[in-house]
């Protein structure tokens, strides 16, 4: 999997890629663009052209804001970082919001603690930590009653 495809699969905003290379053949350019580059510039090049190409890449429209996620009376607007439960605003910490967003994106499917660690924390997190359990406890408390986050024994969590 190419780096760009991996970034896209992770849900992050896609990077813009400008290949600067001495490989100037048509096959090289076609291959570079086929691998995911947005533009391709061969050496030698004029700095003015490089600058113009970078500005052109930056002018391209940004992707649409992520859609508002809703399920079980919970509404999350990831672009605005707003959360509500049955119309009542809920203030969440960054990790709580990330966990809730992943549960909503799962659309009722079970999400394991390992998947939550992978999506909401960085790669340096200890896989044997209880941080998911603690975050889930805080999230449940803030979302209030009746409880909406369901624990599936031995599998993970879900929003029914």
Q: Could you read off the pLDDT of 55-78 as tens digits, one per residue? A: 888 877 566 556 889 998 999 998
Domains: count for the chain: 2
> Are 32 and 100 contained in the same domain?
no
Domain containing 23 equals 3-59
CATH number at residue 39: 3.40.50.2300
Half-sphere CA count of 52, side-chain side, radius 13 A: 6
Is the model's pTM score more than 0.75?
no
Q: What is the pLDDT of residue 139?
A: 94
Is 64 inside a domain boundary? no
Q: Which of 92, 82, 86, 81 is nearest to 71 (CA)?
A: 86
What is the tens place of the pLDDT at every residue in 116-127?
A: 988 888 777 777
């Amino acid at each position: 999997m190419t780096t760009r495809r991996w970034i896209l699969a992770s849900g992050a905003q896609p990077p813009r890629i400008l290949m600067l290379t001495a490989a100037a053949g048509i096959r090289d350019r076609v291959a570079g663009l086929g691998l995911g580059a947005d533009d391709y510039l061969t050496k030698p090049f004029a700095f003015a052209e490089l600058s113009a190409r970078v500005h052109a890449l930056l002018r391209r429209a940004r992707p649409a804001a992520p859609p508002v996620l809703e399920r079980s009376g919970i509404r999350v607007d990831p672009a605005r970082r707003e959360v509500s439960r049955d119309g009542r605003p809920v203030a969440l910490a960054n990790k709580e919001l990330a966990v809730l967003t992943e549960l909503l994106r799962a659309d009722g499917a079970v999400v394991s603690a390992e998947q939550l660690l992978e999506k909401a924390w960085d790669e340096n997190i200890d896989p044997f930590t209880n941080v998911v359990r603690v975050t889930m406890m805080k999230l449940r408390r803030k979302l209030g009653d009746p409880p909406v986050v369901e624990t599936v024994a031995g599998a993970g969590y879900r929003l029914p």
